[in-house]
Every structure is written in C-alpha cells, then in structure tokens.
Structure 1
Amino acid sequence: MTIKELELLKVAILNEVEGETFYRLAAEHLSEGEIRTLLIHLADEEVRHQETMRKLYADLAAGKEPLPDDLDMDLIPSTGIFDLMKLGQVKSDLEISVISTGVLMEKASIDYYNQAAEQADNKAVKELCRYLAKWERDHLEKLEKIYDYLKSDWYEQQGFSTS
C-alpha cells in the first residue's frame, strides 16, 4: 500500500459523491420524464463507483494487495435507459443547465481517472481508474447527445435560427 493510491482513491470517492449528489438534487427539481429518469440512473451508477472504490480503499488501507479481478468492474450497459426520441420539447431551462453541467463534470472525471491511472503504482488501482474513465466516457457521450438535442430544441422554442 502506498499513501499515493489512498489519496487518489479518496479524491475519486469524493468526486463520485459530488456527482451522485448533483444528479439526485437536479432530479428532485425536475418533473417526471426522461431526463429525470436519466439523472437518477446516473446517480445510481455513481453510487456503484463509490462502493467499488471504498472496498479497494479498505483493502489497501488494511495492507491487502487486491487484484483487478477482485473488483466489481462489469460495465452495466445503459444504452436502453435513454431514448432521444422520447424527450419531446425542452420543459425548462433547468434541464439544459443540468445536462450542460453534467457534461463538464464527466469531462473532469475522465481527466482525473486518466491521470490517476498514470500515477498509480498498484495494478488494481490503475485498472479501476482506467475502467472508471471508460464508464464516465459513456456517461459523457450520452449527455453530449442529449445536450445537443435540448439546445437545438431550445433555440427553436426561442425563435432563433438553427443554421
């Protein structure tokens, strides 16, 4: 165990807690619909990330040398959780703001996990960070598509030219 890995994991866990909190708070302020459902799903995934990292942190702090195979790193496909065609029109400016902020958060998470993977000496920490970067990239791609859709719809509602 090194202090470096524990520090990397502490920061990563806090990032996931912040993401979960943001997505849940945002979902509470939106009416029922596809975006609210997506935000709750993202919050639940952030919890799963936290649980995996907390287990790894506890093992490392106890002096164990966990192997990547010991970690729960199965990507849960979430492609069916969200369908752009079900979105309809933008219901509130909050929807666009939340998705835009989510994009920024996911980009920051990807950057952090990529840097942490480079810095980590422990193989399990390194693999987990790479895995989480991939998972966050999946979140980012979904959020970017949604943002583009919402932005286009918002422009249209405002009477702005989309060209």
Structure 2
Amino acid sequence: MAISLNTIVTGMNGGPEAIMQNFNNVKNELERMNGSVTVIPKEQFTALNGITIDNNNRSCQIYKFNNFAIITMGVFVGGVTMKGWTSKDVLTIPKSYLNGFSKFQYFGDKKQLTDDKQLYDAVFDISKGSLGIYNRGADFSNKGLELIFVGILYN
C-alpha cells in the first residue's frame, strides 16, 4: 500500500481539511485493496481422462483484487492409473473464473504424497484452467489422490 499523506502541524491553516484529505486517501486505498471472493460451484468441475471427482471433497475459491487474485483448490480424485514419471490432466474449471490472468505462481511446494508415501505433484495450468498430476516415480493403478494447491494469479 503506497499512500501519500499531507504533513499536518499544530495551528496549520487548513489543518482540518488536510486531516480529512489524509483520511480520504487512506479510505480510498483500503477500498481499492478490498477484494471479492468467488467460489466455484462443485458442479463446474469437469473430470478428464477417465478420472472421477469426489462430489463431497472439492472446493475452489478465488480471492480477487485489482491486479491479482489468490486461488485455492482442493479436490479428491479417483481412478488414477498412470505410469511413473508421466503427467495427466484430471479436471478443468471454467477459464472465465480466471478473468484473463495470464500467469500463475504457487505458494509453497506442489509436491504431495499418497497414503503409501508415493510422490506426485498437483499441477495447475492457467492457460487451460486444468489441474493435473505429475507422477514422480511409482506407477499408479486405480489410485485415489488428494490434490491441493494455493497460488497467485497475475499478468
């Protein structure tokens, strides 16, 4: 937040007006920063490549601000069959929710573990609005996986 405030001194001519102007500057900046929250309805998750999506375990929220947004997604998918060291798209969300943002950066690590300690990544592709899996080793055969990520959308 970068706000330019007027210096105010005791006995200053126009002091009350300067105080009000400072107050308005702070108020305007806070309103500018005030975002909105969009929740993507569960029905708008589309499964891909023979994967199933748990209807009771999927959520996506987008916290929108003027020049960026924060996206959080969590979903449990089933029926994941894939060879080690391969990628597979498992679901999409409507790209309209991404509001024309062109870049995405994860907060933290995208690596995750299965219950039996097999490593995989949850991979979000902003250009397609898709969430995928990158399998880091062992083959998956009809496995259920939880995919969770948080990141920033920007231009």
| Bucket of the pairwise TM-score, normalised by the shorter protein | under 0.3
Q: Normalising to structure 2: TM-score of the pair? A: 0.24
Which one has a larger percent helix, Structure 1 or Structure 2? 1
